[in-house]
């Protein structure tokens, strides 16, 4: 959303253009002593926010038709289109206009920018989702329009993380346009943005919004006043000889009258500058000739902090679907090495609804209610399609595994590229009577701890069906291990813990039996206390903001990164979940996990919490369920640590960054507060919003707001409702985990722990059969602990694409080894175009990475050895 200098349409989405050849006609050169003001016409297609995708297409198609007409009638006119989700359906429904559109693109008068499926949020979705946006969008424009888009166009995206310069360069972009996230209002409009790996990209900030020149008068005298005012408004930001005046707004038609107005303006002998209608590529070329640009290092965040927890269920859906889709890709790539034909188009069909839902407005949760329902339907469609591909890939792998042995075979797949131990669950059925329990045995004959989570008995006794949890130990790297479940007569009951106390070999946890608050968390290694006050307590406090902003209403579109600091909520000013209690909660104890469950009223709402520790895992899993019955309120989980002078580090896509105290920022899988000798990492499953203040980590788990006083326009009309965003009476469960650690976050393996929490093991019951693959095997191994294999997927021409990134900010030299015969390995860009060849021996090759570097490797791999 945006706001013009004079209040007009507010906006949400825009993806500009970047493919340029020689224009059909060149306007006269500007006098050498006169600056140039570039008017850049465009339209900002919303995708979905106030209207659904289909409704916005109906509104948006006529704008493309009008732009094509204007280009045909006015040789000096220019226009920009961006998102594939807008252009592709236009060409599919108007195939008679395809050649006309291609003609203007080839002439450089219609520029395609952005080249993503939509204009996504880039902070909350995972990094691999952004790569899929690039692959989907750029591939389409290359194939259909024959153009390689090089202008990055995320002009309405709500903030930008510090790996975007590297990602954009790896995707073949040469520029980055945005209107949000700079550190101060007078920030230079043109600068080199340097990311955390050192990559730089020319960045074009629009201090007057992407609608600066939209709404210009059609009267020459009034146009002169309008354009001079707009030009002068950039004095503080754009001192160079060229200034940009984007001319478009949300779902608006072109304004071809600007051609005549510009011509009349330029004929005036006292015109203070020359006006030109151009494309982003025209302006980029002009600016890059004016000398070196200043350098900005870091991130362009945060913007609209309320969006990190508005309609929080959408963030959970997003995280879940990204993990499932990546697992489907990995299984498909592994299947290809086993001779199973890959179906990349089917995986793309599963991805696209999720990619569309990551439009910055939809990911942020700032939509109307009927659009929210559409978003949920998209995720459900994506989930169904992804599940089909996971099943297909898993079955292809399991069919080759030797699963013979006593009992019911269970194959467990690990989607991460390191050996790991983690809990998983299966549902077992029994036909013989007398089964009182279950024994899980691994492929080495070792009995693994297991625990019946729920069961259905036969009338005469004994298990008929049971959900069983067990710790799958040392599941090989991006590989599998086979287990067998056997019915046993019974298992001895686990010793019940003392009331309010949980303990394993890592921790001693004391919990208030009635409130559920953690009174103490003591780490046995080093004997230190993690919390200085009751923890895992929820604070509910008044928040008079809207779905965009914390504590205040939307001001029409924020450009500057937010700096307001939030203190830890104070008792008396906020309601705390431990101010009410119930009878002591229930304890579930067993050889795999022990958990404490409590539920009680929370002021006018309800609160329920589960804290679970595992016998053999250092992670403490928490689940907090809230039922809210108040409007304009915010809920945060409080974790007051004993880390007195710690630093906050957040995971961002493909990396991590230190952030200041007291400010709400969006994180990926984890936030860490540590002092170098010890710390607490908080892992999350779709809870991006975090604040750290006074040693307290605060996790935003729910907000109750609506669109507020948002102005009508851009598809928002009277009568449209956003009342469901108050979440009145709707249970919402927040999942997160605690990981106290020695040393800093790098040494503690926090990056791996966050991925493990969000990428569960995949366990399936299979039939017993012989196979040419052993019962357990690593399929892809990466030797360096600080190098993450974020994806493995089928690529073009029968290749496989592997993406690696360095996760700890340290140089890395790693060996990658596949079980398949690797005939060829080459470094590539994000579009998987092969480049430099790597030496391969015995299915392995070495990769060198600088701190936080991302590399894609394309492989030709034969059958598994």
CB 437, CB 491: distance < 8 Å: yes
Identify the DSSP state of 578: G
Average confidence (pLDDT) per 10 residues, the chain, 865 residues: 36 30 42 88 96 96 98 98 98 98 98 98 99 98 97 98 99 98 96 99 97 98 98 97 97 98 97 98 96 97 97 98 99 94 93 98 97 98 98 98 98 99 97 88 95 93 94 98 93 76 97 97 98 99 94 80 95 97 92 96 98 97 99 98 97 99 98 98 99 99 91 83 96 99 97 99 98 98 98 95 99 97 97 97 96 98 73
* pLDDT at site 718: 85
CATH 2.70.98.30 range(s) for the chain read 504-709+722-758
According to CATH, where is 2.60.40.1180 located in the chain? 408-488, 779-865
**The overall pTM is greater than 0.75:** yes
Report the DSSP pairing between strands 36-41 and 274-277.
Answer: parallel
- At the topology level of CATH, where does 36-300 sit? 7-stranded beta/alpha barrel (3.20.110)
Maximum Cα–Cα distance across the chain: 101
Residue 493, judged by CB atoms within 10 A of its CB (0-12, 13-18, 19+), counts as exposed
Determine the 3-state secondary structure of 315 from DSSP. Answer: helix
Given a contact cutoff of 8 angstroms between Cβ atoms, the answer to whether 153 and 18 are in contact is: yes
Q: What HEC string does 592-644 produce?
A: CEEEEEEEEEECCEEEEEEEEEECCCCCEEEEEEEEECCCCEEEEEEEEECCC
SS3 163: coil
Closest to 792 (Cα-Cα) out of 447, 450, 393, 328? 328
56 and 46 Cβ atoms separated by less than 8 Å = yes
What is d(CA 702, CA 185) in angstroms, rounded to the nearest whole number?
31
Joined together, the tokens standing for residue 358 give: 């990551």
The separation between CA 639 and the C-alpha centre of its own chain, rounded to angstroms, equals 24
- Which structure tokens are listed for 790? 């974020």
Correct CATH for 302-400 of 3.40.50.2020, 1.20.1270.50, 3.30.300.30, 1.20.120.160: 1.20.1270.50
Q: Could you check whether the bond before residue 302 is cis, i.e. omega within 30 degrees of 0?
A: yes
> Domain spanning 408-488: which superfamily?
Golgi alpha-mannosidase II (2.60.40.1180)
Nearest to 610 by CA among 433, 496, 736, 697: 736
* Residues in CB range of 198: below 8 A, 6 or more apart: 850
The answer to whether the beta carbons of residues 685 and 668 sit under 8 Å apart is no
Count Cα atoms within 13 angstroms, Cβ side, for 565: 9
**CATH superfamily ID and name for 779-865:** Golgi alpha-mannosidase II (2.60.40.1180)
Q: Is the dihedral of CA 636, 366, 47, 369 positive or negative?
A: positive
CATH of range 504-709+722-758; options 3.50.50.60, 2.70.98.30, 2.70.70.10, 3.40.50.300: 2.70.98.30
Cβ 167 vs Cβ 130: under 8 Å: yes
Place of tokens 């408004």: 233
CA distances from 161 to 180, 196, 561, 563 (A): 12, 9, 12, 16
Q: What is the distance between the alpha carbons of residues 415 and 424, in angstroms, rounded to a whole number?
A: 13
Give the per-residue pLDDT at 26: 47
Pairing between β-strand 110-112 and β-strand 408-413 as defined by DSSP bridges: unpaired
> Collapsing DSSP states into helix, strand and coil, what is residue 407?
coil
Question: How far is 558 from 578, CA to CA, in rounded Å?
Answer: 36
| Residues with Cβ within 8 Å of residue 401, at least 6 apart in sequence | 411, 480, 482, 766, 771, 773, 774, 775
Residues of the chain with CATH 1.20.1270.50: 302-400
**Rounded to whole angstroms, how far apart are CA atoms 277 and 79?**
9
**Within 13 Å of residue 95, how many CA atoms lie on the same side as its CB?**
1
Q: Which residues are within 8 A (CB) of 34 and not within 5 positions of it... i.e. 6 or more apart?
A: 271, 272, 273, 274
Q: Which two tokens stand for residue 273?
A: 């500058």
Nearest to 452 by CA among 591, 259, 573: 591
Cα 670 from Cα 269, distance rounded (Å): 60
**What is the DSSP pairing of strand 175-178 with strand 812-818?**
unpaired
- Residues 6 or more apart in contact with residue 512 via CB below 8 angstroms: 500, 518, 519, 534, 578, 581
614, 423 in Cβ contact below 8 A? yes
Closest by CA to 807, choosing from 649, 648, 697, is 649
Please tell me the number of Cα atoms within 13 Å of 858 on its side-chain side: 17
Q: What pLDDT does residue 99 have?
A: 97
Yes or no: say if 24 and 110 are a contact pair by the CB < 8 Å rule: no
- The 3-class SS string of 810-856 reads CCEEEEEEECEEEEEEEEECCCCCEEEECCCECCEEEEEECCCCEEE
DSSP per residue, 487-516: EES--PPPPPPPTTEEE-SSEEEEE-TTT-
Residue whose entry in the numeric block shows the structure tokens 């790597």: 838
Q: Give the whole-angstrom CA distance, residue 370 versus residue 208.
A: 32
Q: Where in the chain is the domain with CATH 3.20.110.10?
A: 36-300
Is the bond preceding 294 in cis, omega lying within 30 degrees of 0? no
Contact 546, 289 (CB under 8 A): no
Cα(323)–Cα(691) distance, rounded to whole angstroms? 25
Q: Give the number of other Cβ atoms within 10 Å of residue 459's Cβ.
A: 6
Pick the closest to residue 277 from 234, 248, 236 (CA basis): 248
């Amino acid at each position: 959303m945006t706001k013009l200098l004079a209040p007009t349409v507010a906006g949400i989405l825009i993806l500009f253009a970047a493919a340029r050849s020689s224009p059909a006609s060149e306007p006269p050169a500007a006098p050498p002593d006169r600056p140039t003001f570039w008017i850049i016409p465009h339209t900002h297609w919303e995708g979905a926010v106030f209207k659904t995708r289909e409704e916005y297409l109906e509104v948006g198609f006529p704008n493309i038709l009008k732009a094509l007409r204007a280009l045909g009638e006015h040789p000096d006119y220019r226009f920009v289109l961006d998102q594939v989700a807008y252009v592709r359906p236009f060409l599919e429904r108007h195939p008679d206009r395809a050649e006309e559109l291609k003609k203007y693109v080839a002439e450089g008068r219609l520029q395609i920018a952005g080249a993503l499926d939509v204009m996504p949020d880039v902070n909350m979705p995972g990094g691999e989702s952004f790569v899929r946006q690039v692959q989907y969008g750029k591939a389409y424009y290359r194939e259909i329009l024959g153009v390689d888009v090089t202008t990055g166009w995320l002009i309405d995206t709500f903030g930008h993380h510090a790996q975007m310069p590297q990602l954009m360069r790896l995707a073949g972009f040469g520029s980055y346009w945005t209107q949000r996230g700079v550190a101060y209002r007078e920030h230079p409009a043109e600068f080199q943005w340097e990311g955390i790996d050192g990559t730089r990209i020319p960045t074009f900030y629009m201090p007057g919004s992407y609608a600066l020149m939209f709404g210009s008068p059609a009267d020459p005298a009034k146009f002169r006043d309008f354009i001079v005012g707009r030009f002068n408004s950039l004095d503080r930001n754009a001192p160079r000889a060229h200034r940009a005046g984007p001319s478009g707004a949300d779902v608006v038609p072109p304004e071809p009258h600007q051609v005549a107005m510009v011509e009349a303006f330029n004929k005036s002998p006292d015109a203070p500058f020359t006006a030109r209608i151009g494309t982003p590529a025209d302006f980029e070329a002009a600016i890059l000739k004016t000398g070196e640009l200043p350098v900005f290092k870091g991130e362009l965040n945060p913007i609209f902090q309320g969006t990190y927890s508005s309609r929080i269920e959408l963030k959970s859906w997003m995280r879940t679907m990204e993990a499932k889709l990546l697992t489907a890709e990995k299984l498909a790539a592994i299947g290809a090495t086993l001779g199973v034909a890959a179906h990349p188009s089917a995986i793309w069909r599963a991805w696209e609804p999720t990619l569309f839902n990551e439009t910055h407005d939809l990911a942020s949760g700032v939509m109307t209610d009927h659009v929210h329902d559409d978003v949920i339907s998209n995720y459900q469609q994506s989930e169904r399609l992804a599940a089909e591909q996971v099943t297909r890939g898993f079955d292809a792998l399991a069919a080759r595994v030797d699963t013979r042995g006593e009992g019911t075979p269970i194959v467990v797949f690990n989607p991460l590229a390191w050996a790991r131990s983690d809990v998983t669950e299966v549902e077992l059925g029994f036909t013989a009577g007398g089964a009182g329990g279950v024994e899980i045995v691994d492929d080495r004959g070792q009995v693994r701890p297991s625990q019946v989570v729920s069961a259905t008995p036969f009338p005469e006794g004994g298990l008929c069906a049971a959900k069983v949890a067990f710790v799958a130990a040392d599941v090989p790297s991006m590989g599998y291990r086979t287990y067998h479940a056997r019915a046993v007569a019974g298992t001895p009951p686990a010793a019940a813990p003392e009331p309010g106390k949980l303990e394993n070999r890592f921790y001693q946890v004391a919990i208030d039996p009635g409130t559920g608050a953690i009174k103490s968390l003591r780490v046995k290694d080093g004997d230190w206390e993690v919390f200085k006050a009751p923890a895992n307590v929820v604070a509910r406090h008044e928040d008079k903001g809207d779905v965009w902003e914390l504590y205040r209403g939307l001001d029409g579109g924020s450009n500057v990164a937010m700096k307001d600091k939030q203190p830890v909520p104070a008792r008396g000013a906020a309601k705390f979940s431990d101010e009410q209690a119930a009878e002591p909660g229930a304890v579930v104890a067993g050889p795999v996990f022990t958990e404490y469950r409590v539920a009680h009223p929370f002021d006018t709402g309800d609160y329920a919490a589960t804290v679970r520790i595992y016998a053999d895992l250092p992670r403490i899993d928490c689940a907090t369920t809230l039922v809210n019955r108040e409007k304009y309120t915010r809920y945060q989980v409080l974790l007051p640590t004993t880390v007195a002078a710690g630093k906050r580090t957040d995971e961002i896509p493909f990396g991590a960054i230190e952030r200041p105290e007291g400010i709400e920022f969006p994180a990926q899988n984890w936030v860490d507060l540590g002092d170098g000798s010890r710390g607490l990492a908080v892992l999350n499953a779709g809870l991006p919003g975090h604040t750290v203040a006074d040693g307290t980590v605060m996790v935003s788990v729910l907000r109750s707001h609506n669109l507020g006083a948002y102005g009508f326009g851009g598809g928002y009309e009277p009568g449209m409702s956003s009342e469901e965003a108050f979440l009145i009476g709707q249970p919402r469960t927040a999942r997160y985990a605690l990981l106290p650690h020695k040393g800093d976050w790098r040494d503690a393996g926090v990056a791996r722990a966050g991925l493990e929490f969000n990428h569960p093991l995949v366990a399936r019951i299979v039939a017993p059969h012989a196979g040419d693959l052993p019962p357990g095997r690593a399929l892809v191994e990466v030797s360096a602990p600080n190098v993450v294999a974020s994806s493995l997927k089928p690529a073009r021409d029968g290749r496989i694409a592997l993406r690696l990134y360095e996760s700890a900010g340290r140089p890395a030299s790693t060996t990658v080894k596949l079980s398949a015969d690797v005939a060829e390995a080459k470094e590539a860009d994000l579009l998987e175009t092969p480049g430099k060849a790597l030496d391969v021996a015995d299915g392995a090759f070495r990769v060198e990475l600088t701190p936080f570097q991302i590399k894609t490797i394309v492989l030709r791999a034969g059958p598994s050895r």
